[in-house]
Structure 1
Amino acid sequence: MIIGLSIILLLVLLLPFTHVVEKNLEVFLFIMGVLSVLVSQALDWHLVKEALVHPINITLAVLVAGLLFRWFQGPIEKGILGISKAMPYRLFIALFVIILGLISSVITAIIAAIILVAVVSVLKIDRQSEIRLVVLACFAIGMGAVLTPIGEPLSTIVVSKLDESFFYLLKSIGVYVIPGVAAFGVLAAFMVKSREESAAILAQNEVASAAEANALNDIEKTISSQKESYAEIIIRSLKIYLFVMALTLLGAGFQPFIEKYLLDLHPFIMYWINIISAILDNATLAAAEVSPAMSPSTIQALLLGLIISGGMLIPGNIPNIISAGKLKITSLQYARFAIPVGFFAMIIYFVVILLVV
């Protein structure tokens, strides 16, 4: 069993960077999920039911938000552009990432990701800046959403499992998470090119259309983003459904492996091992790892490792999946920027944990 799961883990880590798997990522992960539960003998009716039901709320949220944005696209775009012009551009970028990260704990990480896609689509920045902004915002959303039980499944599971109050996670790890969200916002302000630089890059790019260049040079008069068709909205929602189903199966398939080999390790070791959250559902990992018998510092270390590393690869978090899918960011494009940023953040937080503990 262990050898089989190890092979599956390597395949999930490496194959998404190939062209064929990249184009069919949802199907690939679903197949790997099915194989993992077969290898670990975890497949039963309860898991099948969970895999079928778990993605429904997320899928409906993506579908409804997609429809609403299509119907009200014009006013939304004009409002975003107006705000971005009313203040220094880099300040707008920083505040956007920070506010989005923090309110994701209230509006959910899914809705925050959909807002992220909408804003990025309207701003019409160059491709490199677009990828950097999306990655950093996804890190911020992934961290900020855990502050309340309604932000994302991980926080719901942890609060329920520990039988704690609504604001438990805010009190427990808020002192670590909020500065991290702010740091990603500040980093985004410096890593994203100015409006003028983006306009110049797009104007010189043969792929950029004349409409896109005009939209950047005369942003109040021209909005070049195209409305999605209803078919595109429905297909994206179905892909999200399959993706979440795949992650549910992967998490269940690897749970026996986690329980047997990981749970008795030192929390500092678990912090780094939880980097597998980059490809597995962090909610499932949290469900397997967190226990009421653990000390507060141990729980803090486990959770920080999970939520930071969740931003390092596309499958690691729902915001990554939604944003990359809608903006056509490949696994390699995402990972090239996200992995170094994630590792740096992991090191910083590890030093903080060492000093506190």
Structure 2
Amino acid sequence: MNHASAFVILALLLFGPLAVATIEHNIELYCLALGVLATLLGAGFTHELILEALHEPVAISVAVIVAALLFGWLRPGLDRVFERLRHRLSRPVLTASAVFVIASISSVITAIVGALVLVEVVGLLRLAGEKRVRVTVAGCFAIGMGASLTPLGEPLSTLAARALDLEFMGLFHLLAPWVFPGVLASSIVAGLFARGDYDEAPAGAHVSQTYGAILFQAGKVFAFIAGLVMISSAYGPIANEYVSRMSNDLLFWANTVSAALDNATLVALEVHSMTLPRAREAILSLLISGGMLIPGNIPNIVSAGALRIGSATWAKVGVPMGLVMLGIYFAVIKLMG
């Protein structure tokens, strides 16, 4: 693929979801279409690429289905548990604890299901107005980071593990010491945002998903990852050429663009042939930046859609929180050399 074609497709990938609401709401199919186009303009389809595009999304798509079904069956029990906990724990403590648990297991139950559980919990915590928005944003920061620890968690982790040729627990060993402090901090912030009494709002509506909706969501995830695999393959040589010229510091801050598009997209373009320390810095920047705006990560899209949170409202909380976290992580990375 020549540089002109690559630039046009990249511009469509970056700005299409921002410019057209229909694309933002169907970003998975849009990404698949651009993946096919990039492949046709590049080296074309090969047997190996087709098999890879069909194989890579399978595990996370199956995980989405299984975890969503389990959540549906276990939800009545979750409601009863929260009813008892509301009588024993203050709302800030229960909020922080719930967010931390959801985020910590999201690499197994997937970020999509983690976001659905978060929406349910926000209703059970009887949050309303600005508090509901703030807790949701902080919770999505935590889920986005926690889901990165296995290839099952989210598209970013699936593609990162593939590009870095890591085993199933490879991402955990690479990221866990850096991710868990961020998950804990985001959970504490969510608890602080939730200060108040339980009776200030009625219980929220339950998250309802039919079997068809679950299969449709899994199909969209499959299409999204398949499209990113094709984009990654088509852009690999070009990405290696340009990303290799950027210093670690420049790449860390350049990755804030992932706030405006799903962070898995940049992982698909960037981490080819990177050393693990350099890849870790890039991934951490993408994980944090992905929480700043709604299109930045799948949990944001799911939660904002379920709770009807607008882009500007999300940004008022997400951008300051993300910039503070980026600054702290950057300082720690520099201090540790």
The normalised TM-score by structure 2 is 0.78
After TM superposition, list the pairs within 5 Å mapping 1:62-101 onto structure 2: 62-101=64-103
| Residue in structure 1 matched with residue 290 of structure 2 by the alignment | 310
Partner of 1:249: 230
2:141·2:186 contact (CA, 8 Å) conserved in 1? yes
Distance 1:304 1:69, change over 3 A: closer
2:253 corresponding residue in structure 1 = 272
Equivalent in the alignment of 1:343? 323
1:53–1:341 CA distance, 2 compared to 1 (3 A): same
Aligned to 1:139: 141
Matching residue within 168, 175, 178 for 1:176: 178
8 Å contact kept, 1:62–1:114: no
Aligned to 2:272: 288
- Structure 1 spans left out of the alignment, 5+ residues: 200-215
Equivalent residue number for residue 202 of structure 1: none
Q: Give the deviation of 1:174 after TM superposition.
A: 4.3
**TM score, norm. by length of structure 1:** 0.75
Asked whether the 8 Å contact 1:240–1:322 carries over to 2, the reply is no
Cross-structure match for 1:205:
none
Letter paired with 1:267: N
Q: Is the 8 A contact 2:119 2:207 kept in 1?
A: no
Q: Give the 3 Å change call, closer, same or farther, for CA 285–175 of structure 1 in structure 2.
A: same
Query: Shift in Å at residue 165 of structure 1?
Result: 8.9
Q: State the 1:122 CA deviation.
A: 4.0
Q: 1:15 to 1:105 in 2, by over 3 A?
A: closer
- How many percent identity over aligned positions? 35
Deviation at 1:164, TM superposition (A): 8.2
Rg larger in 1 or in 2?
1
Q: Render the CA deviation track for 1:269-320: whole Å, top value 9, x for unaligned.
A: 22223335553526535641523xx6x4x45433322332333445544444
Q: CA RMSD in A?
A: 3.6
Rounded Cα–Cα distance in structure 1 between residues aligned with 2:251 and 2:9: 21
For residues 155 and 13 of structure 2, the distance between their equivalents in structure 1, rounded to whole angstroms, comes to 22
Shift in alpha-carbon separation, 1:340–1:40, aligned structure 2, 3 A? farther
Who is 2:9 aligned against?
8
TM superposition shift of 1:88: 0.6
Q: Distance in 2 between matches of 1:248 and 1:161?
A: 10
